[in-house]
Amino acid sequence: MKAVTFNIRCDIQPKSEAEFREMLASLPDGVKAPAVRFPKGDGVNAWELRKALDVRAIRRASPEVVGFQEILPHMGLYLRRELPGYTFLGHGREKDYGGERPMVAVREDVEILAYRCFWLSPTPDEPGSRFPVQSPCPRTCAVVKLRLPDGLIFRLYDTHLDHLCPEAREAGLKQLLAVMEADNRQEPLPMMLMGDFNADPGSAEMAPIRENTLGLRDLTAETGPTFHGYGNPEEFIKIDYIFATEPFVSAHTATRLWTQVTDKGTYLSDHYPVEADFELK
């Protein structure tokens, strides 16, 4: 089995630097992030130049599940069309269910038993809701219950934590773990948590996952940096993860980054997709 977390990088459009600086100035004091920068457009790494490469990489690896982040509606439509062997689950984070979204792609031989989505906020069922101290971007988690061809049933959680506020990242992570614990009390199953956490492994906001009591283990601990800013060493940082419980921990055989780049300097994303491989019995 293969499971992949893939921040595919939203199809960003240039905006005025003045507007961007105004947005940053409106944020609470002390807010910082590893991957915030003025969105000038992605040049040779624009979505239109990357999208066929992304599809080709997924087809080649043929993972059972992919947890995407930063998918916009038109990007989701393209992926659905080009990857007909997958079912895509997820909806937008805004009040109208639009905007960016974590989205789980499930290969056709994996049975989908249940799906739900909730917001990382004090009111998780309220569309568009956020924590009081957070960037303007709502955050969600997509949850799917799956049955593999060998019969193993498990739950997969795909999320994207806030990119600006450490407090929001920590609160979101605590909420995620509480939801997973509640789900496991109701129906004990193997679990997998993946996504872009926007925090390095040793950061204070990652303490809840380091200290978790669910048996979650970081299967990406040896990968090194996963965010690379399109090959810019000054931006290298590890912020993408796959955590799992048994039997995935014992069955884990390898973790690899998808690091391919064209001779013109076009990457799959500004993050390396992270693949975890398993030999399940």
Q: What integer best gives the mean pLDDT of the chain?
A: 92
Confidence of residue 42 (pLDDT cuts 50, 70, 90): confident
Q: Which residues contact 19 (CB under 8 A, 6 or more apart)?
A: none
Q: For residue 196, list its beta bridge partners.
A: 160, 240
Does position 43 have pLDDT exceeding 90, yes or no?
no
Residue-level pLDDT at 238: 97
Residue-level pLDDT at 19: 55
According to DSSP, the β-strands at 153-160 and 191-196 are parallel
Over residues 216-273, the pLDDT tens digits come to 999 999 999 999 999 999 999 999 999 999 999 999 999 999 999 999 999 999 999 9
- For the segment 69-81, the average pLDDT, to the nearest whole number, is 96
Tokens of 107: 């290969």
Please name which of 141, 67, 70 lies closest in space to residue 100, comparing C-alpha atoms: 70
Confidence of residue 31 (pLDDT cuts 50, 70, 90): very low
Over residues 135-194, the pLDDT tens digits come to 999 999 999 999 999 999 999 999 999 999 999 999 999 999 999 999 999 999 999 999
Does position 34 have pLDDT exceeding 80, yes or no?
no
Over residues 194-207, the pLDDT tens digits come to 999 999 999 999 99
Residue-level pLDDT at 204: 96
Confidence of residue 25 (pLDDT cuts 50, 70, 90): low
Tokens of 275: 């693949």
Does position 80 have pLDDT exceeding 60, yes or no?
yes
Q: Count of alpha carbons within 13 Å of 217, Cβ hemisphere only?
A: 13
Does position 85 have pLDDT exceeding 70, yes or no?
yes
DSSP state of 44: G
- For the segment 63-77, the average pLDDT, to the nearest whole number, is 97
Task: Name the strand (E) or helix (H) holding 239.
Answer: none
Burial of 244 (0-12, 13-18, 19+ CB in 10 A): buried
d(CA 171, CA 119): 12
Confidence of residue 26 (pLDDT cuts 50, 70, 90): low
Residue-level pLDDT at 40: 54
- Which domains are present in the chain? 2-278 (3.60.10.10)
